[in-house]
Structure 1
């Protein structure tokens, strides 16, 4: 008989697994997963980069390497964050298997059972599942159009022992909201004043479709109480599984030791190929093309929702990122709505609120589908919502 699986790993399908399943549902338009447009992957350029680096490198390319990852690629990231106003050295950067591993490593390093963890309400489901294993005490801080409600956060910091604060400041997943510069400054000060650590998850930073880029929270960190997490998944390819984190040396040292028991290091072949790609290609031009394409798709979705959703539904108006957040009438449950929907899928919002579990919200992704699919999907979504409202009206 097989031994019992640890209680730290709940049995049954996880919310994250269900999300990937929704994205692959046949004969439906998927607004559910956070997928980039595959037509924008630089396939030929990446193929060339892999071939060139393997051909030119020594056999050490295939050897064990530093737990922090390829130093040349870390150097490029160091110069990138310095342009954002962040003071950094190469040995403060760790390359990870996507941003997801960075979050998991930080959770493992800092969280004990019942430790206080403040998250946005709603928040990213992948981060929640990374945190859940360590059984923290969650403090759900509502999202506002300019970011997390910092007045409420400060009250919680005054009254509770909160160790970690998890935020997505740019085009938040799932709302699409962007944290104001005033809140970024204040958040860094609050973390320092109350001895908390901010995990600043920032995978959508480069995907701004209008307006001016804002400095990261880390740019206002004077005491090492902010860790930056980022990824190449949304701007290059998720299959490369390349993310990174930037942290104070006092965090990087124990994190590196911990990492050795996880996976030792990211794939050096992949990291070398990404470095070669960045050497040989105009990455800024690639980002420009992403912005141009996604800007068109976002506008198509906002137009489609305005034309098709009932008047008692509202939705966010993001200026970047991957997602639009829809709020339904209070009497509707997005999970039940999904069961009625045959032609379009989306992510119900209930599990994205770790405490309040609000049921009348849903997240829509606009980057992974065509503009024609967006138009058709919005029409079908509107019809499903109207259908669900009929009993309430009648």
Structure 2
């Protein structure tokens, strides 16, 4: 029986196990199974991957970067060419960030005021201005399904006074983002909780966002140098400040153990450049932890990266070959290792969803940790 795709944005939770939840985000461009990992397509591409290959790994949604796309090729050009989905040949959901995080990293090239941020392009030095209103307009031109409110993300460590001042400005910007977003059926606007590692500030931020009202809520300002222990400390309470009937998105996370820990604490969505960036630098993520294919131990090894993995890198190529093509600087190295890493991350998400659905998450996590503790297979 063919079910008509919904023309609205909605979220439903189908199962819980402790604080972890599995469900579905419904969008006009398709369903997003949660917990979800979003590969990052910075400049309208997941590096070293074809869009259909990214989909083959199990990804339901990609992330695009407002900052990079506004500078090159330009949001207006993308709009003229049919929008980001058509431009990059990805017909499924896309989330775009607001540009705030990238601008944060340009602290030496920016001027921050209540109105917004003026900054110099890292490409050619040209001057640009981003505000809540311009960020909403750029993301509208891109045509993304999930739009992020414009915020400031202070780099940690920072004083509590600095974090509080930044958070409160971000909440004023959240209201301006909501006002500028307008009425866009089928598209969603997510607010971003800030507040560093201070519980009271996180709660204040969440209350401000809930008063404005968003289709989903992100937990921002983590994975910016505070360390996993501090991040998990915030996640022990922060998701509980957000509405239960809306998706919760932890921005910029992360490594496999970060992902598992976040899901255990009630997070529904995550994104990170790690799988693709690691693949291009010779790092593979497997059930038994990280493998550095550059190491000489792999030069004569006929075995696959992971004998239980069904990705093309593992089913068609040996560690020896992967070692060789990386050392030789061949493009296929980054292609195969990126495909493997994205496959592993999506397989991890599928395992988490299945375990939550069966009420067996504790056992899944125990096996996950036991396998990683073994480390890589012994050299030949």
TM-score (norm 2): 0.28
TM-score (norm 1): 0.28
